[in-house]
Amino acid sequence: MRRALLRLSVALLGVHLATGAKAVGTDWPQRPVRIVAPFAPGGSADTLGRLVARDLTDALGQPFVVDNRPGAGGLIGAAQVARAPADGYTLVISGIASHVIAPATNVGGAEFDGLRDFTHIAYLGGPPILFAVGPQSTARSLADVLARAKGSETVSYATPGAGTHGALIGDMFTRLTGASMEPIPYRGGGNSMSDLLGGSVEAAFIAFTSAAEPLRDRRLRAIAVSSAERLPAFPNLPTFRELGYPTLTATTWFGLAGPANLPEPIVERMNAEVRRILAKPDIRARLDADGIVSPALTAPEFKHFVEEEVTRWTPLARASAGR
């Protein structure tokens, strides 16, 4: 009798777990979903978050609301989501800045682990790093820049700030080439772009989205880009890879993540929806125009990608910060 009751209990538990998992996938969402963008409005994280949120609202029948929580290189907003319940109602626009570089360079460390404390749901995309010169520069190619920087001159270049992805790529380029180059860190891409266009600084390593408009207007001269392949909207711009520097292939990526242990049905549903949204012709055209690279990754593929990025960039970021 006891054995029969035990078998019945186990069977009922299995049914409960199976129907519970199914309910999570079919019933979610039942109320508005908050997407934390850990940076100020107007940047790539905010733009990508709002693009996806709009279509998720239409597809899933509940509002997906972007909530900007900037500060400390993305650590403040990301930490809020790491502490949130794993119920699918609090998500974050993750990225290399907030989940890889800032935890490695912040003097006090981070309140979270960029891998362990999050469920990485979907890859949204991101711009590569552009190496460009201003309109006053005489350089027309990477060879021109290196001829000067390996000769009697030191070439100064702007970055969006110390410890940013642009700064790390600039530092890697200097080390790889042995060129005499001096970084000038700014407070954000907008300020560095203004001085580059105004002639206060000759060159810059900067996120492509900050430079896309002046490139289209021919107010800026692009030298090389860190994407794996040439960008569809800028087919004449060579990549660092084809110029002989494959280790400079990189993207300032962003993704969609939630707290650790997010239910798998929610993860699978969200990943499928995000990939569908990013494949829409109107959205693809908008991303291409800004040089945003957005490969379609499954949730496991995206998690593996983040793991590789942490392994790749953490020691470089710490070395750059002197930690």
Number of C-beta neighbours around residue 215 at 10 A: 18
Instruction: For residues 314 and 215, give the distance between their C-alpha atoms in angstroms, rounded to a whole number.
Output: 31
Instruction: For residues 186 and 281, give the distance between their C-alpha atoms in angstroms, rounded to a whole number.
Output: 35
Distances (CA, A) of 96 to 56, 114, 305: 23, 10, 11
Q: Domains, the chain, ranges and CATH?
A: 31-126+253-321 (3.40.190.150), 129-248 (3.40.190.10)
State the pLDDT at residue 17: 46
Kindly give the parts of the chain with pLDDT less than 70. Answer: 1-26, 322-323
Instruction: For residues 159 and 193, give the distance between their C-alpha atoms in angstroms, rounded to a whole number.
Output: 9
Beta bridge partners of 224: 131
Number of C-beta neighbours around residue 10 at 10 A: 10
How far, in whole angstroms, is CA 171 from its chain's centroid? 19
- Tell me the three state secondary structure of residue 69: coil
- Tell me the three state secondary structure of residue 102: helix
State the pLDDT at residue 18: 46
pTM over 0.85, yes/no: yes
Instruction: For residues 24 and 2, give the distance between their C-alpha atoms in angstroms, rounded to a whole number.
Output: 33
- The 10s digit of each residue's pLDDT in 180-194 is 999 999 887 778 888
Instruction: For residues 139 and 195, give the distance between their C-alpha atoms in angstroms, rounded to a whole number.
Output: 17
Instruction: For residues 304 and 290, give the distance between their C-alpha atoms in angstroms, rounded to a whole number.
Output: 26
Instruction: For residues 215 and 310, give the distance between their C-alpha atoms in angstroms, rounded to a whole number.
Output: 31
Nearest one of 39, 37, 76, 78 to 165, comparing CA atoms: 39
State the pLDDT at residue 191: 81
